[in-house]
Amino acid sequence: MAATIEETFQRPVGELLRGWRERRRFSQLELANRVEVSTRHVSFVETGRSRPSREMVLRLAEQLDVPLRDRNQLLLAGGFAPIYSEASLHSPAMLAIRTTLRRLLKAHEPYPALVVDRWWNIVEANAGIGIFTAGVDEQLLQAPINALRLTLHPDGLARRIDNIADVRAAALGALQRQVASTADPELQDLYDELCAYAAADQPTQPGSAEVVIPFKLRHDGKELSLLTTIATFGTPLDVTVSELMIESFYPADDETAEYLRAAS
């Protein structure tokens, strides 16, 4: 059973840091060299023989590429106050972020674009995602709408994606890497759920001209071919902002581009 947040805070900071080091597959020597301390000091921190300073916790967390949410947990475990804010996206402090996101999404129309949080719940979207929500089970459209569940659920987009095996394999692979990177139990639960939807089909072999996996979606009798990119904010200092991902879809061929422009 996954540990609760309270249990995580009760674990020594050294134990948590050792977990992140092992997750990143660093040796104590490699980590010590990165933060410019002795291997002995890293060992003492991990075993609890030495209590790390606030600055040392942050230096180790930075070198281990620990997410901001988990850096706050490390600080708490070490007896220090968190330094990264976690504001609601709808709070006044986030007005500039919301405005920027909506401008980006609007500028991307008529092509689909959406913003998701760490757990792939949609927090913003443009009008273009109508091609994704059309005809799916209403239960999948109840807030919070999870983008991966919407895509892979048998009553969602899966029945309209012609290359669903390829899309599912790519989505599950990316999510599995995210689980390994963050050790987030909610993401693990989502991964397990999505795996349960998988049929016995196998991804097709990519064609010689393919460099990325296209998203082949049937909409009103027309097969659309889309490519997708994911962007994040650079150098965030807020947990919420650091976890936002902007997924933008682009037409992979002229026919899809013309169809989406006409449909808008």
How buried is 220 (Cβ within 10 angstroms: 0-12 exposed, 13-18 middle, 19+ buried)? exposed
What stretches of 145-243 show up as alpha helix (H) in DSSP?
Answer: 147-152, 164-182, 185-197, 239-242
Terminal C-alpha separation, the chain: 47
Q: How many helices (H) and strands (E) does the chain have?
A: 13, 5
What is the reported pLDDT for 207? 57
What is the reported pLDDT for 206? 59
Is residue 78 within 8 Å of 54, Cβ to Cβ?
yes
What is the reported pLDDT for 95? 96
Within 10 A of 227 (CB to CB), how many other CB atoms are there?
A: 16
| Strand stretches in the chain, DSSP E | 113-116, 122-125, 215-219, 222-231, 245-251
What is the reported pLDDT for 209? 57
Residue numbers of the chain with a pLDDT score lower than 50: 1-9
What is the reported pLDDT for 69? 96
| Dist CA 123 CA 145 (whole Å) | 8
DSSP state of 130: H
| Dist CA 14 CA 43 (whole Å) | 9
Annotate 184-204 with b (16+ C-beta within 10 A) or e (fewer): beebbebbeebeebeeeeeee
State the Rg of the chain over Cα: 21
Residue identified by tokens 């979606």 is 217
